[in-house]
Structure 1
Amino acid sequence: MKIAIVGYGKMGQIIDDLATKKGHEIVAKLKETPTLSSLNNADVAIEFSNPEVAFNNIKICLENKIPVICGTTGWLDRKSEIEKIAIENDTAFLYGSNFSLGVNLFFDLNRKLANLMANFPEYTIQLEEIHHTHKKDAPSGTAISLAEDIIINNSTFDSWKLEETEKNNLGIEAIRKDEVPGTHSVFYRSEVDEIEIKHTAFNRNGFAMGAIIAAEWIQGKQGIFSMKDVLGLN
């Protein structure tokens, strides 16, 4: 493939290295807003930038009929607009709050456990996420995905909030610490015991490789997708 990397920071550099080793060609390494000419006829754009610029980055790629794999979090209040643009331009858009294979299996485990525990109100639920101090949004997109899946599967909750769980608001504690790539935990606590599921990332390579796999998968497709489609977890 010919790949445009939109948002050439730490993640972009890792994607560059791993994709090149897989035989793909990196035709653009963009730190600025893309243009038709700067995208260099890319087959796909992989977008890892900042919440403030993600919408415009994605919009320009889609309007030029370049499918987008997006891993930027913190801008999702406009996701429905992006999905409409992708459909109108007969191209494809795939957003992932986390592209790691392990995290996406963790998402599936979280949904199954939430459904199982819905019948046991004696357990309270709390989420925790730990990330490096450079991360700009809190809670993480991964933690929000975990919380939303619990809410769907447990009628006790109708929303999530930062800090502690309170009544019908599922709590997410967001911790920023040194250079932690990402750790996510879900706790079910009663007066007598605790059940915990946890995913710990050791480095960013898993996120980058998942994004490349998604880019390979989306070739020739039109529509709105997620990592569940890529991994056959639907």
Structure 2
Amino acid sequence: MKIALIGYGKMGKAIEEIAVAKGHEIVLKIDAYNLDEFTAENLAKADVAIEFTSPHSAVENIKKCISFGVPVVSGSTGWLKQWDEVKGFVEEHNGALLYASNYSIGVNIFFELNRLLAKMMSAHTGYNVALEEIHHTEKKDAPSGTAITLAEGVMEFVKAKKQWVNHISDNEDDLEIISERIDPAPGTHKIKYHSSIDDIEIIHTAHNRKGFAGGAVLAAEYIVGKRGIFSMKEVLGL
């Protein structure tokens, strides 16, 4: 498989290492210093593009790849207010996009565990639920996309929570997400149900970027030759 890396920071380099070890070829690397090489001609060499950039450039990068006929695996977060716009663009161009807020296999299992626990806790009104997330100081968005996905999973079943907020709140309708930025933390997410009697909590802690990068390569292998909108649920059969 021939891969174009759109974004060649720490994550791009981790993806490259795993992809090459699996026998894939990196045919294009785009970062802020060679944007002039982000062309249809260069993208035509790739079977798939893996896009890990910033909230400010992700949408344009995805659209560019789709318009050039290249399926995209995107892991950029912080841009989902434009999700409907991007989804419509992909459908209009009969393209393929696989988006996940987190590509780690463990985290995607954690997403499902979170939803299962929320479903079980929904009948027990004596508990209050809150989220915590810790990332490195280079993390550009807060809360993390992973934390937002977890919050949405909780609110799907715990109907007392109407919206998430990124601060401590006295409003019982608010689902708190408390964000910390501490080096060199790759990512920790905790969901805690608290009552006067006991606490129930589940935690996922990443030790390095390999889990995210490996999942992104797995997603790229999955999407080649497909059309439509996909997630890690399809990749992992969850």
Q: What's the TM-score, normalizing by structure 2?
A: 0.96
1:3 is the counterpart of 2:16: no
- The residue identity in structure 1 corresponding to 2:211 is G
Which residue of structure 2 aligns with residue 221 of structure 1?
Answer: 226
Between stretches 160-169 and 203-212, larger displacement belongs to 160-169
Say if 1:28 and 1:40, in contact at 8 Å, map to a contact too: no
Which residue of structure 1 aligns with residue 28 of structure 2?
Answer: 28
Tell me how far apart the structure 1 counterparts of residues 57 and 138 of structure 2 sit (CA, whole Å).
17
Which residue of structure 1 aligns with residue 135 of structure 2?
Answer: 131
Query: RMSD across aligned C-alpha pairs, in angstroms?
Result: 1.0
Which residue of structure 2 aligns with residue 121 of structure 1?
Answer: 125
Between stretches 19-28 and 38-47, larger displacement belongs to 38-47
Say if 2:43 and 2:68, in contact at 8 Å, map to a contact too: no
Structure 2 counterparts to residues 1-234 of structure 1, below 5 A? 1-32=1-32, 33=35, 34-165=38-169, 166-233=171-238
Between stretches 129-138 and 157-166, larger displacement belongs to 157-166
Deviations, residues 2-45 of structure 1 (Å, cap 9, x unaligned): 10000000000011111011111101010044321232421100
Determine helix, strand or coil for the equivalent of 1:126. strand
Off by >4 Å, runs of 4+ in structure 1: none
Tell me how far apart the structure 1 counterparts of residues 89 and 166 of structure 2 sit (CA, whole Å).
31
Say if 1:110 and 1:150, in contact at 8 Å, map to a contact too: yes
- The residue identity in structure 2 corresponding to 1:204 is R
Say if 1:162 and 1:174, in contact at 8 Å, map to a contact too: yes
Say if 2:44 and 2:68, in contact at 8 Å, map to a contact too: no
- Give the total of aligned pairs: 233
Question: Could you tell me the percent identity over the aligned residues?
Answer: 52
- The residue identity in structure 2 corresponding to 1:201 is A
Deviations, residues 103-145 of structure 1 (Å, cap 9, x unaligned): 0000000000000000011000010000000101000000000
Determine helix, strand or coil for the equivalent of 2:57. helix
Tell me how far apart the structure 2 counterparts of residues 4 and 219 of structure 1 sit (CA, whole Å).
13
Deviations, residues 75-114 of structure 1 (Å, cap 9, x unaligned): 1111111111111111210111000000000000000000
Say if 2:134 and 2:185, in contact at 8 Å, map to a contact too: yes
Tell me how far apart the structure 2 counterparts of residues 82 and 27 of structure 1 sit (CA, whole Å).
25
Determine helix, strand or coil for the equivalent of 2:40. coil
Determine helix, strand or coil for the equivalent of 1:153. coil
Tell me how far apart the structure 2 counterparts of residues 147 and 164 of structure 1 sit (CA, whole Å).
15
Say if 2:44 and 2:70, in contact at 8 Å, map to a contact too: no
